[in-house]
Amino acid sequence: MSRPLEGITVVAVEHAVAAPFATRQLADLGARVIKVERPGAGDFARGYDRTVRGQSSYFVWLNRGKESVELDIKNDRELLDALIERADVFVQNLAPGAAERLGLDAVTLRARRPQLIHCSISGYGPGGPYESKKAYDLLVQCETGLVMSTGTPEAPAKAGISIADIATGMYAYSGILTALYERERTGKGAGLRVAMIDALGEWMSQPAYFSRYGQEPPRRTGARHPSIAPYGPHRTGDGEVFLGVQNDREWTALCGVLGNPELARDPRFSTNVDRVAHREGLTAILEEAFAEFDAEQVITLLDRAGIANARLRTPEQFTSHPQLLARDRWRAIGTPGGAMHALLPPVEVEGREPVMGAVPALGQHTDAIRAEFGGRKA
């Protein structure tokens, strides 16, 4: 079965999360992704933990389906140049300024091969006072206002996942796909730049606009939504249920669940703005009604009324989520330490199974790649 990116070769001088996340999506679509790693050490994400069959949970998530070649990019340019010469896409997220010093920047590489799609990922982008500043996920969360928008009134908090890296990787991935599409029509490659501050900044636009034009500081409301109510956790007789009301029609339906249809016309709660302003009183009313039922009963009532709701699950519980199991969304893939189960990519294409290749050991493909592309023995 052919794959959408079959025949596309990607060379990635990458580490950590953002760039590997982008290139793994390309591998899932059938591209050949050759991952260049430091001799003896490799991508430093390999050392983040040892929780998945002795491998890093970050690394197995981000690097399935790739080929790993150990290569000293400063002193073994013959092989690297040979790889780039046959690449359709080159991706790098080296330290600020390193690509230029090594001649791996877009201007240098595309001068030789205008059809090359070159993607550079950085923390803060070229120019400006932050150009050379190192950037990691938490630090970009701080700089974009995310940390100050998350948590409780007493304590701001980071997001629980590498959200700045993921945002950046997704924009790099979509940018590369766009450039490949354009190249099909024009024959010309592209030089792409994706900065973490720009990627996460796009995702932070709503709270930024809300604060700037509403002229108020961020509302840190824990697991509740800062500007929609009721939206978040509510106690029941034996635990919590999360629910979300998005409009006045759903609010009226929820009042029916509570057995109090007159509440929909209470001026304290008649619009979302009113409900947010009187959130504490509204929460007390809901929880008093829910106290007569256990969580499962409340969920049943909410489902019948068409009110969105959710159970609070741990990440481990997510791996056995009944919806994912019923839809057969897990696949066994190989890792250097043994088989694991990985989640299928989010986009389903009818009649086509994603590649879902194995996670490579460090340097697993070095000899084969040297034999194929040439270059002296290390």
**190 strand-pairing partners:** 117
pTM more than 0.75: yes
Average pLDDT, the chain: 95
For 230, 232, 292, 313, the CA distances from 245, given in Å and listed in that order, are: 6, 9, 21, 20
Query: Helices 196-203 and 205-214, interaxial angle, to 10°?
Result: 70
Nearest to 184 by CA among 233, 243, 117, 104: 117
The structure tokens listed for 367 are 């000899």
Question: Can you tell me whether residue 16 is helix, strand or coil?
Answer: coil
Tell me what the mean pLDDT of segment 269-274 comes to: 95
**Confidence band for 218, pLDDT divided at 50, 70 and 90:** confident
Percent of the chain residues past pLDDT 90, beyond the cut: 92
Task: Specify the DSSP class assigned to residue 244.
Answer: E
Nearest to 265 by CA among 277, 251, 247: 251
- Structure confidence at residue 70 (pLDDT): 97
Question: Can you tell me whether residue 230 is helix, strand or coil?
Answer: coil
E strands, the chain, are 9-13, 32-37, 66-70, 89-92, 117-122, 190-195, 231-235, 240-244, 308-310, 330-333, 340-343
Domain 9-204+326-373 has CATH 3.40.50.10540: yes
Tell me what the mean pLDDT of segment 247-251 comes to: 95
- Structure confidence at residue 378 (pLDDT): 46
Same fold, 9-204+326-373 and 231-313: no
Q: In 306-365, which residue ranges form alpha helices assigned H by DSSP?
A: 315-318, 322-326
Cis peptide before 39 (omega within 30 of 0): no
Instruction: Give domain limits for the chain.
Output: 9-204+326-373, 231-313
The DSSP-derived string for 209-225 is HHHHHHTS-----TTS-
Q: Does residue 137 have a pLDDT over 80?
A: yes
- Structure confidence at residue 375 (pLDDT): 58
Q: 183-204: b or e for each residue (b if 16 or more CB lie within 10 Å)? A: beeeeebbebebbbbbbbbebb
Tell me what the mean pLDDT of segment 142-163 comes to: 95
Q: Does residue 32 have a pLDDT over 70?
A: yes
- Structure confidence at residue 1 (pLDDT): 65
The structure tokens listed for 76 are 């073994």
- Structure confidence at residue 167 (pLDDT): 98
Q: Does residue 377 have a pLDDT over 80?
A: no
At a CB cut-off of 8 Å and minimum separation 6, what does 150 contact? 156, 157, 158, 159, 220
Tell me what the mean pLDDT of segment 267-271 comes to: 95
CATH number assigned to the domain with residue range 231-313, chosen from the 4 options 3.30.70.890, 3.40.50.920, 3.30.1540.10, 3.40.50.300: 3.30.1540.10
The DSSP-derived string for 357-376 is -PPPPTTTTHHHHHHHH---
- Structure confidence at residue 374 (pLDDT): 84
**Confidence band for 215, pLDDT divided at 50, 70 and 90:** confident
Tell me what the mean pLDDT of segment 349-364 comes to: 92
What is the C-alpha separation between 335 and 344, in angstroms, rounded?
16
Tell me what the mean pLDDT of segment 343-350 comes to: 92
**Beta strands 190-195; 9-13: pairing state:** unpaired
Other Cβ atoms less than 10 A from the Cβ of 225: the count is 17
**Confidence band for 87, pLDDT divided at 50, 70 and 90:** very high
225 is catalytic: yes
Single out the catalytic residue among 15, 225, 278, 321.
Answer: 225
Amino acid occupying residue 85: E
Percent of the chain residues past pLDDT 70, beyond the cut: 99
- Structure confidence at residue 111 (pLDDT): 96
